[in-house]
Structure 1
Amino acid sequence: MRDMDKIDQVSAFTFSVRMVSSIQVVSRVIELFALRDDPLHALTLSTDGRGQILTITVPSLTPARADVVAWKMRNIVGVEAVAVAADDTNYTGTVRDQQVLDVP
Structure 2
Amino acid sequence: MMQLDALVLYNGNGDIRQIRFRPGRLNIITGESGTGKTSIIGILRFLLGGDSPHVPLGPIQKTVAWYGLLAHVGGAQFFVGRPAPAHGVTTSQ
Q: Which TM-score applies when normalising by structure 1?
A: 0.32
Relative contact order higher in (CA < 8 Å, ≥ 6 apart)? 1
